[in-house]
Amino acid sequence: MLHNAIERILEAQGFWADPLGKLFVTIFGALYRPVPALKDFLNGVWFGHPLHPAITDVPIGAYVVALVLDLSGQRSAATAAIGVGIVFMLLAALAGYADYIDLEGKTRQFGTVHSSLMLVALVFYLISFLMRLGAVPSPAEVWLSFIGFLIVIGSAYVGGELVYNLGTQVDRHAWRGGGTKWTALDVTDIPADKPVKAKAGAQTLVVVRRGTSLEALHDVCAHQGCSLSEGKIVGETIECGCHGSRYRLRDGLVVRGPAVFDQPHFEVREAEGKIEVRRTDTR
């Protein structure tokens, strides 16, 4: 019941989160999209894992340490911990906005609430940090950092909602099983260099003929679940029509984000007038 109440509160924030979200997408889209290599780096394509959550533990840990140090009267050490937290909070924000600009609808709304709360918390910590640089301690600097910490925890909860409840930045094929059996496709005519959607049992694939060979990937994009068969062929890759992720046709390797997880690849063979497939990776 508590979760449902919180979700209703978050959903009610659309009146300010939706217009602010459009502004954020405009600003950060203009910064990131003209430089695909930078966006890929911040998405975590090179890492094989979203970069943003890998960074966020550092500022949260630093702020917890700062809180303990403040309670034990170690002002200088607490100030240093907050400084570390601020630096890594900024780095996490840079990576987070690279993911954020590809969100839509409810996920963007929740993402806007999450990022806005983090920005407010950052302001509290920055003011506290600057006050701590003075020679005379003030109770206000401790209270400001404590309020900032509470906001960070609240924002982290919203971030958890994005991942665990709404499925943002998770692999769409994480629970999809493999198999060793050859399964016939429901199509036999595959024109050259054109993505074709096909069924192989319960699996939906995108099949592409390249010269004399056939390549097949799962049709559901690992990033946000769009159909790859509605995308286009770019060199040796297929590009998702929704957010531009590219996967290498010969093995499903992600070569351009925002996707960070590889696409399931299928072997293809033609026999007795049928086209059959089986998955090559059975993780």
Ordered by start, the domain boundaries in the chain are 2-165, 183-279
Give, to the nearest 10 degrees, the angle between helix 36-43 and helix 51-71.
60
Each residue's pLDDT tens digit, 136-145: 899 999 999 9
φ, ψ for residue 95, nearest 5 deg: -70, -40
- Give the count of beta carbons closer than 10 Å to the beta carbon of residue 189: 7
Task: Output the pLDDT for position 2.
Answer: 86
Sole residue written with tokens 């209270």: 143
Closest CA to 101 of 239, 248, 203, 244: 244
Across the 283 residues of the chain, what is the mean pLDDT of every consecutive 10-residue run?
A: 90 96 97 96 96 96 98 96 98 97 96 98 98 92 98 97 94 82 91 94 93 94 96 96 96 96 94 89 58
DSSP bridge pairs for 277: 183, 268
Each residue's pLDDT tens digit, 229-270: 999 999 999 999 999 999 999 999 999 999 999 999 999 998
Q: Quote the DSSP letter at residue 263.
A: P
How do the residues of the chain divide into helix, strand and coil, expressed in percent and rounded to 5?
A: 50, 15, 35
What is the CATH architecture of 2-165?
A: Up-down Bundle (1.20)
**Fold for the domain defined by 183-279:** Rieske Iron-sulfur Protein (2.102.10)
CA dihedral 45, 199, 177, 236 (to 10 degrees): -30
φ, ψ for residue 37, nearest 5 deg: -65, -40
